[in-house]
A and B are shown apart, each in its own frame.
Chain A
């Protein structure tokens, strides 16, 4: 299976702290994407990193990708209560036309 796995499964931090989530996957990829899901809602695309990129920034988000280790990390800096959600990584396999989602990290930011 190409499905990624996030680590940790759950994370609880204080507002203002940084949150780091990790994703491991099994096969070669063209790109890796991170999505956020608020309770009872659909997923929202956050950021995409290509297989030839090592780091990417978007606002308070920083994503790294290590293709040799088949892993990625998502860092949210200066967290806010509104960042409380589940975060999923999604990978495409080379030659595949769809995304495989991981199991998710549930982030709770305490005000």
Chain B
């Protein structure tokens, strides 16, 4: 099976600019996650979708971050405006369901904010 696809692979922007990341999950996976991984740390959940509905966005900084999953397949994560502390790797993951379903991760987008 094809894995989780993410683009772009790298992105460099200046603070206060906006940026968007795209994710295409594994076909048939209903659950999609966006994680933020700061260098040297573990991934931190930003938002979780079940089909096209939001299950958990409690840790998403909603004043600057937004995410959508139209038609319950692809998803985009946007940051506007970016801050220096947003520099991180943004990982998308998908799973068949919840609970015991393992997460399948993409290779992430490395964002550098200067």
Contacts and interface: CB of A to CB of B under 8 A. Distances in A.
Interface of A: 3, 30-31, 33, 35, 40-45, 48, 50, 88, 92, 97-104
B36 to A, nearest CB: 11
Nearest to A89: B42
Interface of B: 4, 33, 35, 41-45, 48, 50, 55-56, 91, 93, 98-100, 102-108
A99 B45 contact: yes
A97 B42 contact: no
B108 to A, nearest CB: 6
Contacts, number: 56
**Most chain B CB atoms below 10 A, which of A30, A48, A97, A98:** A98
Contact of B107 (A3, A31, A42, A100): A42
Given A40-B107, A43-B91, A97-B55, A3 B42 contact: yes
A42 B108 contact: yes
B45 A98 contact: yes
A45 B103 contact: yes
Contacts of A101: 35, 42-44
A30 B91 contact: no
Given A41-B107, A42-B4, A42-B91, A97 B98 contact: yes
A3 B37 CA distance: 14
